[in-house]
């Protein structure tokens, strides 16, 4: 390898490294994979025993059954608080924003207890946007309690993983109850959950009311009173599953008091890790020639990264395992592809010999399996394309043989190049028609998407050709395309001396029918329902065109249009609504929508208007919305 090639290779590898590094750093900065990264972190939590004395008095189903329907009288909470002796603080996680339905005397019973209790009591407020309080205790309670917001942070997947210390002028419920100064706590921190629901000591409040709980249980304890009954709808998703809000507060308080805040690794360290791991991967790809050694080496590197992330998690540090893995994967894929391209040798003699006669895929398959050069075939699920020039007869009559030949060669060359570019195999030319298919001889999991990409590019290329032909005083041409997917027989077919790698079957015939059907609807590309069912990309735009029964077949089939031109969304919407009315035989409503769509330039709507005019004069029996084609 000469110096210039080495320099070019090193420059290319450096470019790959920097591009991947920039890519992974950018998506990390903007948090594009945070939802998935959080799910990975969730699985790393392990159950631990709380170190702080936190007692939950649960408003559970048993207590509700015995005390009575919710909401409870204030006197119930007054009795409960009066029975709690020696606690550090009491958090009453219950909304008391409305006057008691039993009157002022009920509110007064709670006020008297709040005045005389030896423990401070914290009540919740709910905050909305722009410092607006959406729920707070009655004013009569405020002089005797501390207020704190109980809003929880839910990620995009509705899981509560973190907590805020302050919002506007309020501190959070856990911060106030913990007694820790908010300035000594991160404004946002990950909750270090101790375990699933029930990890903290939880006592039905009815047991306290019935004097079944000894006073020692509450001595020097933080006591939280809150709902755990499912009917009260105060539960949240957490890394350990559904958990009552009061227990989420308990976990948050435990996190604050122990100082075990889970924090993400700082950005500089993350960038260093990205740089080092991707550099190691690229060096391995460059230096290790044997795949049997390279792949295990890269897998070992990925395992080391993940083990390192798990180890850091045990030290309360959140490591971006997913981002590092994605960076490694991107480096590996791009690097290996580059190495393959850079080091690939010239094509074998047989490839150079037959490159103008057979598709490269067929040549490669024949090199691997020469036994395929024989009659016979196999059944495969393929994507089939038929295209034809609209009005070819009139065009051929206007041109001399030389002009027609040149125009056809230019057209077929352009269309063939596009089909081959997108992985298709051009089966044959039938006059001005082109037949091609995807998915054989080599399997292609993206065959339907590739075929649709080819269709879009074919129609775009045709517009360019028409402009060029116009400058040369040649007539413009239009093409119709049919696209179908289904089981066919594929293989080398012909005589013992002359054969062709081709396909046959009903699905091939239906693809040809779809090409001709375009003329009926004024469309450029009609596709089958099988195409819709197998498409993966969201970039293509389809609309359901009709339900038809082709001549000679009993079963109806849905057909769709692949829209490749600039389209009017309003026209498509009107067409869709019109079809729904049409299917229900609401002719007047259907005509109204189709007429509006026609005014917006929608050609298929005109077909339906003509059809409805006939149906109005010849009302169908047992209408099912199926159109029968009488000819092929």
CB atoms within 10 A of CB 389: 20
Which one is predicted more confidently, 445 or 346?
445
Query: What average pLDDT does the segment 403-408 reach?
Result: 87
Sign of CA dihedral 385, 389, 390, 393: negative
pLDDT tens, position by position, 607-631: 999 999 988 888 888 889 899 887 7
CA atoms of 167 and 149, how far apart (whole Å): 8
- pLDDT at 281 (0 to 100): 85
Query: Do 322 and 277 touch, CB atoms closer than 8 A?
Result: no
Query: What average pLDDT does the segment 110-135 reach?
Result: 91
Whether the link from the prior residue into 71 is cis, omega within 30° of 0, is yes
Query: Do 261 and 190 touch, CB atoms closer than 8 A?
Result: yes
Q: Poorest-confidence range of 3-7, 248-252, 419-423? A: 3-7
Output the six-digit token pair for 241.
Answer: 């599953």
* pLDDT tops 90 at residue 423: no
- pLDDT at 56 (0 to 100): 96
Query: What average pLDDT does the segment 391-412 reach?
Result: 85
Three-state SS at 147: strand
Whether the link from the prior residue into 441 is cis, omega within 30° of 0, is yes
* pLDDT tops 60 at residue 182: yes
- pLDDT at 286 (0 to 100): 76
The helix/strand count (H/E) of the chain reads as 21, 25
Query: Do 528 and 485 touch, CB atoms closer than 8 A?
Result: yes
Q: What is the DSSP string of 235-274?
A: EEEETTEEEEHHHHHHHHHHHHHHT--BEEPPHHHHHHHH
Average pLDDT, the chain: 87
Which one is predicted more confidently, 383 or 168?
383
Three-state SS at 382: strand
Percent of the chain with pLDDT over 90: 52
Q: Poorest-confidence range of 158-172, 427-441, 443-457, 510-524? A: 427-441
Query: What average pLDDT does the segment 580-602 reach?
Result: 93
pTM: 0.51
- pLDDT at 371 (0 to 100): 46
- pLDDT at 401 (0 to 100): 85
Compute φ and ψ for 155, nearest 5 degrees.
Answer: -70, 180
* pLDDT tops 60 at residue 358: no
* pLDDT tops 50 at residue 352: no
- pLDDT at 374 (0 to 100): 39
Sign of CA dihedral 86, 91, 96, 97: positive
- pLDDT at 285 (0 to 100): 78
Q: What is the DSSP string of 570-598?
A: HHHHHHHHHHHHHHTT-HHHHHHHHHHHH
- pLDDT at 347 (0 to 100): 42
Query: What average pLDDT does the segment 395-414 reach?
Result: 86
* pLDDT tops 90 at residue 499: no
Query: Do 443 and 487 touch, CB atoms closer than 8 A?
Result: no
Output the six-digit token pair for 456.
Answer: 């879009």
- pLDDT at 297 (0 to 100): 82
* pLDDT tops 60 at residue 466: yes
* pLDDT tops 80 at residue 345: no
Q: Environment class of residue 499 by beta-carbon count within 10 Å: exposed (0-12), middle (13-18) or buried (19+)?
A: middle
CB atoms within 10 A of CB 67: 15
Output the six-digit token pair for 516.
Answer: 């001709």
Query: Do 382 and 506 touch, CB atoms closer than 8 A?
Result: no
- pLDDT at 387 (0 to 100): 95
* pLDDT tops 90 at residue 362: no
Percent of the chain with pLDDT over 70: 91
Query: What average pLDDT does the segment 27-49 reach?
Result: 88
CA atoms of 201 and 272, how far apart (whole Å): 43
- pLDDT at 600 (0 to 100): 93
Whether the link from the prior residue into 236 is cis, omega within 30° of 0, is no
Q: Poorest-confidence range of 171-185, 239-253, 257-271, 510-524? A: 257-271
Residue 376: pLDDT band (50, 70, 90) is low
CA atoms of 283 and 277, how far apart (whole Å): 10
* pLDDT tops 90 at residue 394: no
Query: What average pLDDT does the segment 120-144 reach?
Result: 91
- Alpha helices for 261-348 (secondary structure H): 267-287, 291-314, 321-343
């Amino acid at each position: 390898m000469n110096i210039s090639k080495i320099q070019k290779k090193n420059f290319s590898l450096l470019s790959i490294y920097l591009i991947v590094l920039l890519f992974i750093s950018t998506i990390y900065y903007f948090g594009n994979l945070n939802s998935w990264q959080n799910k990975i972190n969730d699985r790393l939590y392990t159950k631990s025993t709380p170190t702080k004395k936190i007692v939950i008095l649960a408003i559970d189903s048993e207590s509700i059954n015995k005390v009575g329907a919710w909401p409870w009288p204030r006197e119930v909470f007054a009795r409960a608080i009066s029975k709690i002796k020696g606690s550090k603080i009491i958090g009453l996680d219950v909304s008391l924003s409305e006057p008691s339905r039993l009157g002022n005397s009920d509110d007064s019973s709670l006020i008297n207890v709040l005045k005389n209790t030896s423990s401070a009591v914290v009540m919740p407020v709910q905050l909305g946007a722009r410092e607006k309080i959406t729920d707070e205790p009655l004013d009569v309670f405020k002089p005797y309690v501390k207020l704190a917001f109980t809003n929880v942070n839910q990620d995009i997947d509705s899981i509560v993983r973190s907590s805020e210390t302050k919002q506007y002028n309020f501190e959070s419920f856990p911060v106030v109850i913990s007694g820790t100064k908010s300035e000594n706590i991160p404004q946002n921190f990950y909750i270090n959950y101790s375990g699933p629901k029930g990890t903290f000591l939880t006592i039905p409040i009815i047991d306290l009311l019935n004097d079944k709980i000894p006073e020692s249980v509450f001595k020097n304890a933080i006591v939280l009173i809150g709902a755990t009954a499912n009917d009260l709808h105060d539960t949240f998703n957490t890394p350990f599953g559904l958990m009552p809000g009061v227990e989420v507060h308990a976990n948050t308080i435990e996190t604050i008091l122990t100082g075990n805040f889970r924090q993400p690794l700082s950005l500089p360290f993350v960038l260093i890790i990205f740089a080092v791991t991707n550099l190691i991967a690229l060096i391995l790809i460059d230096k290790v020639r044997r795949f049997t050694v390279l792949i295990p080496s890269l897998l070992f590197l990925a395992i080391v990264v993940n083990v390192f992330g798990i180890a850091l998690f045990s030290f309360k540090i959140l490591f971006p395992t997913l981002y590092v893995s994605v960076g490694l994967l991107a480096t590996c894929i791009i690097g290996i592809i580059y190495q393959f391209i850079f080091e690939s040798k010239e094509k074998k003699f047989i490839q150079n010999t037959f490159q103008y006669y057979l598709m490269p895929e067929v040549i490669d398959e024949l090199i691997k399996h020469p036994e395929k050069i024989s009659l016979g075939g196999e059944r495969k699920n393929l994507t089939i394309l038929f295209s034809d020039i609209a009005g070819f007869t009139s065009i051929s009559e206007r041109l001399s043989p030389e002009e027609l030949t040149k125009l056809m060669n230019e057209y077929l060359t352009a269309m063939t190049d596009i089909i081959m570019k997108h992985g298709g195999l051009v089966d044959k030319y039938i006059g001005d028609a082109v037949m091609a298919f995807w998915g054989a001889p080599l399997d292609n999991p993206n065959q339907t998407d590739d075929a649709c990409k080819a269709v879009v590019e074919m129609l775009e290329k045709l517009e360019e050709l028409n402009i060029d032909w116009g400058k040369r005083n040649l007539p413009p041409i239009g093409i119709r395309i049919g696209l179908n997917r289904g089981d066919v027989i594929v293989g080398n077919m012909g005589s013992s001396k002359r054969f062709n790698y081709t396909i046959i079957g009903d699905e091939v015939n239906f693809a040809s029918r779809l090409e001709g059907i375009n003329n009926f609807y004024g469309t450029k590309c009609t596709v089958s329902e099988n195409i819709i069912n197998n498409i993966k990309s969201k970039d293509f735009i389809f609309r359901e065109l009709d339900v038809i029964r082709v001549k000679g077949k009993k079963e109806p089939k849905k057909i769709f249009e692949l829209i490749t031109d600039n389209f009017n969304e309003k026209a498509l919407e009107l067409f869709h609504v019109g079809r729904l009315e049409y299917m229900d035989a609401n002719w007047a409503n259907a005509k109204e929508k189709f007429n509006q769509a026609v005014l917006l330039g929608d050609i298929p709507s005109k077909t339906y208007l003509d059809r409805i005019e006939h149906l109005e004069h010849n009302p169908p029996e047992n209408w099912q919305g199926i159109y029968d084609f009488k000819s092929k």
